[in-house]
Structure 1
Amino acid sequence: MSTAPHAAGDYSTVSDPERALKYAIRHFAGDRVEIIEGVITPRSPSWAHESAAEVVRRQITPRTDELDLVSGSGNLDLPGSENWYIPDLAVVPAELAAKAEGALLPDQTLLIVEVTSPSSAETDRVVKRRRYGQYGAPIYLLIDRQNRTCTLFSEPSRLGYASESGPHPFGAPVRLPAPFDVELDTARL
């Protein structure tokens, strides 16, 4: 039995659509593109969005330095799904980051932070919360700029997260658990 030749624009014969989609964004779409539930989504965060992530980064930097961790916004692959995320902030072991040529997995992170935008708020609140938990990210901090709250999720499970702290209004302290053991000042978010 022979297979039909692949015609340009016809992807019905692609044997592994997840792999093809992830290859395409890594090699042809640029640096700031995510795949969210199979939809290619360009990212262009505003300065206010970047500022919120920076507020968290500055507060955790002394602790990340002590623990030999790196914070950044590198690619995260969710194998077995059509998802490829670029978190606003992720914290990983420095040794792991130094060796990573491609994407890391959510369970290799110690903390993931997402900051909502009007265009991504529901994705960050629902889809990413569920997927990060399913893929073992130990701590997910959601900074919801539209609702002016922070919610901390922990104890990942196959359904998402088993533990939720918040939502805490901006201005209320939010305690990041071990290994960070840092109380975040959210007044400037």
Structure 2
Amino acid sequence: MRIEAADYSEGVDPERALKYAVQHIRGDRAQIVEGVIEPVAPDWGHEATAETIRDQIRARARELDCVTGSGNLDLPGSSNWYVPDIAVVPASAAKGAGALLPADTLLVVEVTSESNGDTDRVVKRKRYAEYGAPLYLLVDRQERSVTLYSEPGRLGYTRADGPHPYGTSLHLPAPFGLELDTSAL
């Protein structure tokens, strides 16, 4: 029996197949940005910056019954599957979930790297807003600045607090209500 290529593609959703494949890559973690599979392999400077932020928000996240982590975020209807540097999500949503939506988060944090800074500054900022992440904190290591984006909409965030140079105290609004010290970044 001869099977044509068309026989294989019937009923296969390419978005779902791509997202399934990236979740099952052995060894390294990966994300999909605008249809391109990218390995997630931050250097230690990047990790130290993320840890500094995580340490400052962890206690408040616990008070809010949330967890902080870098779990998968799906953007359905697009060829995007993100692994943020930090996401704060309700503990109830995180239990047993394979991937969450940006709208399920309270805060998403991305820390730029030399290799993908523009992705965090432009592409992810637009997509996180489009998919309803209420707060997006961009820590730009190359520019040595922080910017908090809020009020998401289909065309992007409508409010930006920053960019502020490292060393500036940045207010994280409700439900966090805390001042983020950026001097140690």
TM range (shorter): over 0.9
Alignment match, 1:52: 49
> Are the counterparts in 2 of residues 75 and 103 from structure 1 also a CA contact under 8 Å?
yes
Residue 17 in 1 paired to residue 44 in 2?
A: no
Is there any run of 5+ residues in structure 1 with no aligned partner, and where?
none
Residue 119 in 1 paired to residue 103 in 2?
A: no
Alignment match, 2:77: 80
Q: Could you tell me how far apart the structure 1 residues matched to 2:28 and 2:103 are?
A: 22
Q: Residue deviations 1:113-136, cap 9 Å, x none?
A: 000000010000000000000000
SS at match of 1:154: strand
| Distance change in 2, residues 1:33/1:14 (3 Å) | farther
Q: Could you tell me how far apart the structure 2 residues matched to 1:29 and 1:121 are?
A: 25
Q: Could you tell me how far apart the structure 1 residues matched to 2:44 and 2:81 are?
A: 23
By how many angstroms is 1:28 displaced? 3.0
Which of 124, 137, 142 is 1:141 aligned to?
137
Which of 161, 173, 179 is 1:183 aligned to?
179
Task: Kindly provide the amino acid, as one letter, of the partner of residue 47 in structure 1.
Answer: W
TM-score by length of 2: 0.93
TM-score by length of 1: 0.92
> Are the counterparts in 2 of residues 70 and 91 from structure 1 also a CA contact under 8 Å?
yes
Q: Residue deviations 1:43-87, cap 9 Å, x none?
A: 110111011111111111121111111000000000000000000
Report the RMSD for the aligned CA atoms in angstroms.
Answer: 1.8
| Distance change in 2, residues 1:42/1:13 (3 Å) | farther
> Are the counterparts in 2 of residues 14 and 20 from structure 1 also a CA contact under 8 Å?
no
Task: Kindly provide the amino acid, as one letter, of the partner of residue 148 in structure 1.
Answer: R
Q: Residue deviations 1:91-133, cap 9 Å, x none?
A: 0001111131x11000000000000000010000000000000
The alignment covers a number of residue pairs equal to: 183
> Identity of counterpart residues, as a percentage?
63
> Are the counterparts in 1 of residues 150 and 159 from structure 2 also a CA contact under 8 Å?
yes
Is there any run of 5+ residues in structure 2 with no aligned partner, and where?
none
Task: Kindly provide the amino acid, as one letter, of the partner of residue 163 in structure 1.
Answer: R
Q: Could you tell me how far apart the structure 2 residues matched to 1:126 and 1:12 are?
A: 33
Q: Residue deviations 1:131-177, cap 9 Å, x none?
A: 00000000000000000000000000000101101000000011101
Q: Could you tell me how far apart the structure 2 residues matched to 1:24 and 1:6 are?
A: 20
Q: Could you tell me how far apart the structure 1 residues matched to 2:6 and 2:159 are?
A: 47
Which of 26, 38, 41 is 1:41 aligned to?
38
> Are the counterparts in 2 of residues 34 and 85 from structure 1 also a CA contact under 8 Å?
yes
